[in-house]
Amino acid sequence: MERKTIEKLLGQTRVICQPKHALATFGATSIDYYLVSPIEEIKDRTRLRRGKVFSEKPKILTPESWSERFSGFGEEAKEFSEWISSRYGAALRALEYNFKNSGMSTQVVSEAPPQVAGRIQGEIESQSAGAKALIACPDAAWPLALMKFSIDESVRSFPTNVRDLDRRGMFNPEEAEGARHRREIETLFASASTDRAILDLLGQKLHEYGLFAEYEGRFLSFF
Protein backbone atom coordinates (compact mmCIF):
# COMPACT_ATOMS: atom_id res chain seq x y z
CA MET A 1 0.00 0.00 0.00
CA GLU A 2 1.40 3.39 -1.01
CA ARG A 3 2.18 5.95 1.67
CA LYS A 4 -0.21 8.43 0.07
CA THR A 5 -3.00 5.88 0.48
CA ILE A 6 -2.02 5.28 4.11
CA GLU A 7 -2.05 9.01 4.84
CA LYS A 8 -5.42 9.38 3.11
CA LEU A 9 -6.90 6.60 5.26
CA LEU A 10 -5.49 8.19 8.40
CA GLY A 11 -7.05 11.48 7.37
CA GLN A 12 -10.42 9.72 7.65
CA THR A 13 -9.58 8.27 11.07
CA ARG A 14 -10.58 9.97 14.32
CA VAL A 15 -10.08 9.07 17.97
CA ILE A 16 -13.37 10.01 19.62
CA CYS A 17 -12.61 8.77 23.14
CA GLN A 18 -9.10 8.46 24.53
CA PRO A 19 -8.06 6.52 27.68
CA LYS A 20 -8.03 8.75 30.74
CA HIS A 21 -4.63 7.60 31.94
CA ALA A 22 -1.19 7.15 30.39
CA LEU A 23 0.33 3.72 29.76
CA ALA A 24 1.77 2.15 32.90
CA THR A 25 5.51 2.51 33.43
CA PHE A 26 6.16 -0.60 35.51
CA GLY A 27 3.53 -2.99 34.20
CA ALA A 28 1.36 -3.91 31.23
CA THR A 29 -1.66 -1.83 30.19
CA SER A 30 -4.90 -3.23 28.76
CA ILE A 31 -7.18 -0.92 26.75
CA ASP A 32 -10.67 -1.89 25.61
CA TYR A 33 -11.30 -0.45 22.16
CA TYR A 34 -14.26 0.08 19.82
CA LEU A 35 -13.64 0.61 16.11
CA VAL A 36 -16.59 2.10 14.21
CA SER A 37 -16.50 1.88 10.39
CA PRO A 38 -19.02 2.58 7.64
CA ILE A 39 -19.89 -0.24 5.24
CA GLU A 40 -19.57 1.61 1.96
CA GLU A 41 -21.81 -0.63 -0.14
CA ILE A 42 -24.72 -0.63 2.34
CA LYS A 43 -26.42 2.53 3.61
CA ASP A 44 -26.90 3.03 7.35
CA ARG A 45 -24.83 0.01 8.28
CA THR A 46 -21.84 0.04 10.58
CA ARG A 47 -19.12 -2.50 11.18
CA LEU A 48 -18.28 -2.50 14.87
CA ARG A 49 -15.08 -4.15 16.06
CA ARG A 50 -14.33 -4.69 19.75
CA GLY A 51 -11.28 -6.05 21.45
CA LYS A 52 -8.35 -5.32 23.71
CA VAL A 53 -4.95 -3.94 22.87
CA PHE A 54 -2.23 -4.79 25.37
CA SER A 55 0.83 -2.61 25.86
CA GLU A 56 3.74 -4.38 27.50
CA LYS A 57 5.85 -2.69 30.16
CA PRO A 58 8.13 -0.19 28.36
CA LYS A 59 11.67 -1.45 27.82
CA ILE A 60 14.75 0.73 27.92
CA LEU A 61 17.04 1.27 24.92
CA THR A 62 14.85 0.10 22.08
CA PRO A 63 16.47 -1.47 19.00
CA GLU A 64 15.83 0.29 15.71
CA SER A 65 13.81 -2.65 14.34
CA TRP A 66 10.04 -2.33 14.68
CA SER A 67 9.28 -5.70 13.11
CA GLU A 68 7.99 -7.30 16.32
CA ARG A 69 6.25 -4.37 17.97
CA PHE A 70 2.78 -5.35 16.77
CA SER A 71 1.04 -8.73 16.82
CA GLY A 72 -2.53 -9.56 15.93
CA PHE A 73 -3.03 -6.50 13.72
CA GLY A 74 -3.71 -8.25 10.41
CA GLU A 75 -1.75 -9.12 7.30
CA GLU A 76 -0.66 -5.56 6.48
CA ALA A 77 0.73 -4.84 9.95
CA LYS A 78 4.35 -4.99 8.77
CA GLU A 79 3.70 -2.52 5.98
CA PHE A 80 1.87 -0.16 8.30
CA SER A 81 4.58 -0.46 10.97
CA GLU A 82 7.20 0.69 8.45
CA TRP A 83 5.20 3.86 7.85
CA ILE A 84 4.75 4.39 11.60
CA SER A 85 8.48 3.88 12.15
CA SER A 86 9.29 6.61 9.64
CA ARG A 87 7.00 9.02 11.48
CA TYR A 88 7.58 8.13 15.14
CA GLY A 89 10.90 6.30 15.37
CA ALA A 90 12.93 9.25 16.62
CA ALA A 91 10.37 10.18 19.26
CA LEU A 92 10.45 6.74 20.87
CA ARG A 93 14.15 5.92 20.60
CA ALA A 94 14.76 5.75 24.37
CA LEU A 95 11.92 3.32 25.17
CA GLU A 96 10.46 0.31 23.41
CA TYR A 97 6.71 -0.28 23.50
CA ASN A 98 5.21 -3.54 22.20
CA PHE A 99 1.51 -4.09 21.49
CA LYS A 100 -0.78 -7.07 21.04
CA ASN A 101 -4.30 -7.01 19.66
CA SER A 102 -6.42 -9.68 21.33
CA GLY A 103 -9.99 -11.01 21.39
CA MET A 104 -11.34 -8.90 18.55
CA SER A 105 -14.96 -9.53 17.56
CA THR A 106 -16.85 -8.02 14.62
CA GLN A 107 -20.54 -7.33 14.10
CA VAL A 108 -22.70 -5.38 11.66
CA VAL A 109 -25.05 -2.87 13.30
CA SER A 110 -28.18 -1.56 11.55
CA GLU A 111 -27.39 2.08 12.30
CA ALA A 112 -25.27 4.77 10.69
CA PRO A 113 -21.74 5.18 12.13
CA PRO A 114 -22.43 8.56 13.84
CA GLN A 115 -25.33 7.06 15.80
CA VAL A 116 -23.32 3.99 16.82
CA ALA A 117 -20.33 6.11 17.82
CA GLY A 118 -22.52 8.52 19.78
CA ARG A 119 -24.16 5.72 21.75
CA ILE A 120 -20.83 4.09 22.63
CA GLN A 121 -19.30 7.46 23.52
CA GLY A 122 -22.12 8.09 25.98
CA GLU A 123 -21.55 4.68 27.58
CA ILE A 124 -17.81 5.29 27.94
CA GLU A 125 -18.19 8.77 29.36
CA SER A 126 -20.71 7.56 31.94
CA GLN A 127 -18.24 5.03 33.32
CA SER A 128 -15.47 5.79 35.78
CA ALA A 129 -13.05 3.29 34.24
CA GLY A 130 -10.62 5.08 31.94
CA ALA A 131 -8.99 2.29 29.92
CA LYS A 132 -11.37 2.53 26.94
CA ALA A 133 -11.00 3.99 23.47
CA LEU A 134 -13.42 4.75 20.64
CA ILE A 135 -12.09 5.19 17.12
CA ALA A 136 -13.89 5.98 13.85
CA CYS A 137 -12.04 4.76 10.75
CA PRO A 138 -12.52 3.39 7.23
CA ASP A 139 -13.43 -0.29 7.23
CA ALA A 140 -10.28 -1.43 5.42
CA ALA A 141 -8.02 0.69 7.60
CA TRP A 142 -8.85 -0.76 11.03
CA PRO A 143 -5.34 -2.27 11.59
CA LEU A 144 -3.68 1.02 10.68
CA ALA A 145 -6.06 3.02 12.87
CA LEU A 146 -5.49 0.75 15.86
CA MET A 147 -1.71 0.70 15.39
CA LYS A 148 -1.50 4.48 15.09
CA PHE A 149 -3.71 4.86 18.16
CA SER A 150 -1.34 2.56 20.10
CA ILE A 151 1.71 4.57 19.08
CA ASP A 152 -0.03 7.86 19.85
CA GLU A 153 -0.70 6.52 23.36
CA SER A 154 3.01 5.74 23.62
CA VAL A 155 3.94 9.27 22.60
CA ARG A 156 1.45 10.68 25.12
CA SER A 157 2.79 8.41 27.90
CA PHE A 158 6.47 8.75 27.00
CA PRO A 159 7.36 11.78 29.19
CA THR A 160 5.73 10.23 32.27
CA ASN A 161 7.34 6.83 31.66
CA VAL A 162 10.79 8.36 31.20
CA ARG A 163 10.47 10.42 34.40
CA ASP A 164 9.35 7.36 36.38
CA LEU A 165 12.25 5.26 35.11
CA ASP A 166 14.78 8.05 35.60
CA ARG A 167 13.68 8.53 39.23
CA ARG A 168 14.61 4.91 39.86
CA GLY A 169 17.99 5.31 38.17
CA MET A 170 17.11 2.84 35.42
CA PHE A 171 18.79 4.81 32.65
CA ASN A 172 22.12 4.47 34.46
CA PRO A 173 22.56 0.88 35.73
CA GLU A 174 25.75 1.79 37.63
CA GLU A 175 23.95 4.52 39.56
CA ALA A 176 21.04 2.18 40.29
CA GLU A 177 23.42 -0.48 41.61
CA GLY A 178 25.18 2.10 43.78
CA ALA A 179 21.85 3.20 45.24
CA ARG A 180 21.02 -0.41 46.12
CA HIS A 181 24.40 -0.86 47.80
CA ARG A 182 23.92 2.26 49.91
CA ARG A 183 20.44 1.18 50.97
CA GLU A 184 21.90 -2.16 52.07
CA ILE A 185 24.71 -0.43 53.99
CA GLU A 186 22.26 1.88 55.77
CA THR A 187 20.17 -1.12 56.78
CA LEU A 188 23.25 -2.86 58.19
CA PHE A 189 24.23 0.27 60.12
CA ALA A 190 20.77 0.41 61.68
CA SER A 191 20.98 -3.26 62.64
CA ALA A 192 24.51 -2.92 64.02
CA SER A 193 23.37 -0.21 66.44
CA THR A 194 21.47 -2.89 68.37
CA ASP A 195 23.35 -6.03 67.35
CA ARG A 196 27.16 -5.87 67.35
CA ALA A 197 27.28 -9.27 65.62
CA ILE A 198 26.36 -7.41 62.40
CA LEU A 199 29.64 -5.42 62.44
CA ASP A 200 31.69 -8.11 60.71
CA LEU A 201 29.16 -8.32 57.86
CA LEU A 202 28.95 -4.52 57.65
CA GLY A 203 32.73 -4.20 57.37
CA GLN A 204 32.82 -6.93 54.75
CA LYS A 205 30.14 -5.22 52.64
CA LEU A 206 31.82 -1.83 52.91
CA HIS A 207 35.03 -3.28 51.48
CA GLU A 208 33.18 -5.36 48.88
CA TYR A 209 31.31 -2.33 47.55
CA GLY A 210 34.30 -0.02 47.71
CA LEU A 211 32.55 2.24 50.22
CA PHE A 212 34.75 1.83 53.28
CA ALA A 213 36.49 5.22 52.91
CA GLU A 214 33.12 6.95 52.60
CA TYR A 215 31.67 5.30 55.72
CA GLU A 216 34.89 4.80 57.70
CA GLY A 217 34.09 7.37 60.42
CA ARG A 218 30.66 5.93 61.11
CA PHE A 219 31.96 2.38 61.11
CA LEU A 220 34.87 3.07 63.49
CA SER A 221 32.56 4.92 65.88
CA PHE A 222 31.17 1.55 66.90
CA PHE A 223 34.58 0.77 68.43
Of 122, 144, 167, the residue at which a domain comes to its end is: 167
Tell me how far apart the alpha carbons of residues 40 and 35 are, in angstroms, rounded to a whole number.
15
- Number of domains into which the chain is organized: 2
Is the same domain home to 119 and 186? no
Tell me how far apart the alpha carbons of residues 85 and 64 are, in angstroms, rounded to a whole number.
9
Is the same domain home to 32 and 118? yes
pLDDT of res. 55: 92
Q: How many CB atoms lie within 10 A of CB 176?
A: 13
Q: What one-letter code names the amino acid at 36?
A: V
Is the same domain home to 108 and 177? no
Is the same domain home to 196 and 137? no
Is the same domain home to 40 and 143? yes
pLDDT of res. 185: 87
pLDDT of res. 104: 95
Which has the closest alpha carbon to 92: 152, 178, 5, 14? 152
Is the same domain home to 111 and 187? no
Is the same domain home to 178 and 85? no
Residue 114 Ramachandran class (φ > 0 left, ψ -120 to 50 alpha, else beta): alpha
Tell me how far apart the alpha carbons of residues 89 and 154 are, in angstroms, rounded to a whole number.
11
pLDDT of res. 174: 59
> Going by DSSP bridges, is the β-strand pair 70-71/99-109 parallel, antiparallel, or unpaired?
parallel
Is the same domain home to 213 and 163? no
Low-confidence ranges of the chain (pLDDT < 70): 1, 60-68, 85, 87-94, 129, 169-176
Which has the closest alpha carbon to 151: 103, 97, 104, 100? 97
Is the same domain home to 55 and 121? yes
Is the same domain home to 71 and 180? no
Is the same domain home to 99 and 208? no
pLDDT of res. 63: 44
Which residues lie closer than 8 Å to 77 by C-beta, 6 or more apart? 70, 71, 143, 147
pLDDT of res. 68: 63
Which has the closest alpha carbon to 53: 67, 75, 22, 32? 32
pLDDT of res. 170: 66
pLDDT of res. 188: 85
Domain carrying residue 202: 173-220
159 DSSP assignment: H
